Structure 1
Amino acid sequence: MTTSSALDSFLDKWRTRWPEWSVAEPFVPEAQRTLVVAWFTLLQEFDDILNTSGDPMPADAKLAWWGEELRSWAGQRSRHPLGRLLEPVRAPWTALADALPDLIEARAAALEPAQAFKALQPYAAAVAAVEAVMFYTPVRGDVATPVLVQTLAQRLNAAGVAAVPRSLLAAGEGDAAQRWAQQLLARWPARVPGPRARRMYASLARTRLQASAQGRELKVTPMRTLLRTWWAGRG
Structure 2
Amino acid sequence: MTDSASLDSFLAKWQAQWPEWAVAEVFLPAAQRQRARAWLALRGELAEAAWGGEDPTPGAAKLGWWEEELAGWSRGARRHPLGLALQKQPADWRMLADAIPALRASRHPEGDRAAALRGLEPFAAAVSAVSAELFDAAPASALAMADALLAEWVLRLPERGIPAAGTDVSSLLALPPLRDGARPERLHAALVHGRLRRLSRGRSGPMPPPAVLFAAWRAARG
Q: Contact between 1:91 and 1:134, CA under 8 Å: does it hold in 2?
A: yes
The amino acid across from 2:6 in the alignment is A
Q: Contact between 2:24 and 2:187, CA under 8 Å: does it hold in 1?
A: yes
Structure 1 unpaired stretches of 5+? 165-174
Match of 1:189 in 2: 176
Offset, 1:131: 0.8
Q: Contact between 2:53 and 2:160, CA under 8 Å: does it hold in 1?
A: no
Answering whether residue 187 of structure 2 is matched by residue 200 of structure 1, we say yes
* TM-score normalised by L of structure 1: 0.85
Offset, 1:71: 1.1
Offset, 1:176: 7.5
Answering whether residue 96 of structure 2 is matched by residue 96 of structure 1, we say yes
Offset, 1:229: 0.8
The amino acid across from 1:88 in the alignment is K
Q: Contact between 1:25 and 1:33, CA under 8 Å: does it hold in 2?
A: yes
Answering whether residue 144 of structure 2 is matched by residue 146 of structure 1, we say yes
Distance 1:129 1:72, change over 3 A: same
The amino acid across from 1:122 in the alignment is P
Distance 1:229 1:63, change over 3 A: same
Offset, 1:219: 7.3
Aligned to 1:47, what secondary structure does the other structure show?
helix
Match of 1:132 in 2: 132
How many residues align structurally? 222
More displaced stretch, 24-33 vs 222-231: 222-231
Distance 1:221 1:90, change over 3 A: same
Match of 1:180 in 2: 168
Aligned to 2:172, what secondary structure does the other structure show?
helix
Q: Deviations over 1:152-197 (max 9, x none)?
A: 2222122249798xxxxxxxxxx983551112223x3145111111
Matches within 5 A, 1:1-235: 1-139=1-139, 142-160=140-158, 177=165, 180-186=168-174, 188-190=175-177, 192-216=179-203, 220-235=207-222
- Flag the structure with larger Rg: 1
Offset, 1:206: 0.6
Q: Deviations over 1:118-137 (max 9, x none)?
A: 21110000000001111101
Partners of 2:64 and 2:125 lie apart in 1 by: 19
Distance 1:176 1:34, change over 3 A: closer
